[in-house]
C-alpha cells in the first residue's frame, strides 16, 4: 500500500557559467555537505555568500528552502519556494515542494493547485501526477467523512471511505505532525546550478525541456507524424542505415504497439552554443510485452523558433 508521500525527480538545467561560477560552486558544495550533516546554520551562511553575488541563483535558493523546512520554519520555506516559482515558473520542483508543505499543514486545496502547476510546466512529471492522485484521495476521504457526519447510515459513503482507508492503511505522511520523531515528507532534490542571466537562461533551457517532453508525448500517443516532426531534415541516422529505412523502422515501432508509455526524468541541459544543445536524461519505455529503462542523449539544433533533434543515441 502506498502512503501519501511526496517524491521528485531532479530537473537539471546546466547553463552558461558566470565569471564567479567556480567560487560559487565551492560555496554551494560546502553548503550542500553541511546540509547533509544537519549543520543548517553554517550551511545558510554559505548560501548567503552565494546569494550576495547572485541573488537569482536558483540552486542556492532551493537548498535554502530545504534547510528552512528542516529547521522547522515551513512558513519561510513556503516563501522561498514561492519566490522561486515567480522567477523560474518552468521548474516543477518548487511547485512540488510547496505541495509537500501545504499538505503537511492540511491545506489540500493549495497542495492540489501547486501540483497542477507542476504538471502544467512538466506534463510527464510522474511524481506530481502520483502525488496529485494521493491528494485527491485524501480530499475524498474528508468529503466522505463529512457525508457520514450528516448521514451515518450512508452505506455508499461508508464503502468508499473504507476503500480509501485500506489504500492508505498507514497514516499519510503529509497528515502527521512535523515533530522530531514524525516521518517527514521528502522534498524534491536540488536542481542544478542556474548561472549567468537567470531568467533568459532558464527560459531557453525550459524551451528545450518542453521540446523533449512533447517529443516523448507524441511517441506515447502513437502519433507518428507528430513524433517525426521533432527531427531535423539533416538528422544523423544510426551508422549504416539510410534515412528512409530509419523512418520506416520508427513508424513501425510507434504505430504497432497498442499502448506506449515514454517518460523522461532527470534531464541535464548543456548548451554548446546559442543554437545547439545536448540533453541527457533517463528514458523509461513501456509497451505491450516490452519494458526498458536507459540513459538517452539528444543533440538539438535551433530552427527558427523550434528545437529539432539532430542526433540521438543511447548513453550519456
CA–CA distance, 228 with 249 (Å, rounded to integer)? 12
Residue-wise pLDDT tens digits, 10-41 = 333 332 233 344 455 678 888 888 888 888 89
Phi then psi dihedrals of residue 188, to 5 deg = -60, 150
Nearest alpha-carbon partner for 64 in 50, 49, 80, 53: 80
- 236 or 156: which carries more pLDDT confidence? 236
Helix pair 126-150, 155-167: axis angle to 10 deg: 140
- Please report the pLDDT score of residue 80 as a whole number: 93
Question: Residue 165 above 70 pLDDT?
Answer: no
CB of 12 within 8 A of CB of 192?
A: yes
Report, as an integer, the average pLDDT of 31-56: 88
CA–CA distance, 296 with 283 (Å, rounded to integer)? 6
- 129 or 8: which carries more pLDDT confidence? 129
- Please report the pLDDT score of residue 316 as a whole number: 60
- Give the CA-trace dihedral at 124, 125, 129, 132, to 10 degrees: -140
Q: How confident is the model at residue 229 (pLDDT cuts 50, 70, 90)?
A: very high
**Domains contained in the chain, CATH given:** 21-175 (1.25.40.10), 198-314 (3.10.450.50)
Q: How confident is the model at residue 78 (pLDDT cuts 50, 70, 90)?
A: very high
Question: Residue 91 above 80 pLDDT?
Answer: yes
Residue-wise pLDDT tens digits, 100-143 = 788 878 888 888 888 888 888 888 767 777 778 878 777 777 77
- 152 or 264: which carries more pLDDT confidence? 264
CA–CA distance, 275 with 125 (Å, rounded to integer)? 26
Residue-wise pLDDT tens digits, 269-286 = 888 888 899 999 888 888
CA–CA distance, 127 with 137 (Å, rounded to integer)? 15
- Please report the pLDDT score of residue 299 as a whole number: 95
CA–CA distance, 254 with 60 (Å, rounded to integer)? 41
Tell if the pTM clears 0.85, that is, is over it.
Answer: no
194-198, 232-236, 264-268, 295-299: range with lowest mean pLDDT:
194-198
Question: Residue 2 above 60 pLDDT?
Answer: no
User: Helix/strand/coil (H, E, C) string of the chain?
Assistant: CCCCCCCCCCCCCECCCCCCHHHHHHHHHHHHHHHHCCCHHHHHHHHHHHHHHCCCCHHHHHHHHHHHHHCCCHHHHHHHHHHHHHHCCCCCHHHHHHHHHHHHCCCHHHHHHHHHHHHHHCCCCHHHHHHHHHHHHHHHHHHHHHHHHHCCCCHHHHHHHHHHHHHCCCCCHHHCCCCCCCCCCCCCCCCCCCCCCHHHHHHHHHHHHHHHHHHHHHHHCCCHHHHHCCECCCCCCCCCCCHHHHHHHHHHHHHCCCCEEEEEEEEEEEEEECCEEEEEEEEEEEECCEEEEEEEEEEEEEECCEEEEEEEEECC
Please name the residue that has the C-alpha cell 539533416: 234
Query: For residue 85, what is its C-alpha cell?
Result: 516559482
Amino acid at each position: 500500500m502506498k502512503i501519501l508521500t511526496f517524491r521528485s525527480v531532479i530537473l537539471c538545467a546546466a547553463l552558461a557559467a558566470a565569471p564567479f561560477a567556480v567560487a560559487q560552486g565551492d560555496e554551494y558544495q560546502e553548503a550542500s555537505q553541511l546540509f547533509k550533516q544537519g549543520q543548517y546554520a553554517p550551511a545558510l551562511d554559505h548560501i548567503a555568500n552565494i546569494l550576495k553575488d547572485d541573488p537569482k541563483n536558483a540552486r542556492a535558493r532551493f537548498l535554502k528552502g530545504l534547510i528552512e523546512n528542516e529547521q522547522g520554519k515551513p512558513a519561510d520555506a513556503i516563501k522561498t519556494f514561492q519566490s522561486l516559482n515567480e522567477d523560474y515558473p518552468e521548474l516543477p520542483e518548487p511547485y512540488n515542494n510547496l505541495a509537500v508543505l501545504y499538505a503537511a499543514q492540511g491545506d489540500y486545496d493549495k497542495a492540489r493547485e501547486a501540483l497542477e502547476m507542476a504538471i502544467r510546466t512538466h506534463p510527464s512529471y510522474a511524481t506530481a501526477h502520483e502525488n496529485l492522485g494521493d491528494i485527491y484521495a485524501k480530499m475524498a476521504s474528508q468529503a466522505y467523512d463529512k457525508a457520514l457526519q450528516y448521514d451515518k447510515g450512508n452505506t455508499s459513503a461508508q464503502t468508499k471511505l473504507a476503500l480509501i482507508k485500506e489504500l492508505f492503511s498507514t497514516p499519510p505522511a503529509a497528515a502527521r505532525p512535523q515533530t522530531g520523531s514524525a516521518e517527514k515528507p521528502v522534498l524534491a532534490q536540488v536542481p542544478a546550478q542556474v548561472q549567468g542571466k537567470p531568467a533568459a537562461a532558464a527560459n531557453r533551457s525550459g524551451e528545450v525541456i518542453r521540446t523533449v517532453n512533447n517529443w516523448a508525448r507524441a511517441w506515447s500517443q502513437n502519433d507518428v507524424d507528430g513524433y517525426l516532426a521533432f527531427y531535423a531534415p539533416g538528422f544523423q541516422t544510426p551508422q549504416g542505415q539510410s534515412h528512409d529505412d530509419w523512418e520506416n523502422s520508427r513508424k513501425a515501432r510507434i504505430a504497432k504497439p497498442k499502448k506506449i508509455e515514454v517518460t523522461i526524468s532527470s534531464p541535464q541541459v548543456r548548451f554548446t552554443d546559442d543554437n545547439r544543445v545536448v540533453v541527457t536524461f533517463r528514458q523509461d519505455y513501456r509497451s505491450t510485452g516490452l519494458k526498458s529503462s536507459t540513459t538517452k542523449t539528444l543533440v538539438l539544433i535551433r530552427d527558427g523558433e523550434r528545437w529539432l533533434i539532430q542526433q540521438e543515441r543511447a548513453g550519456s
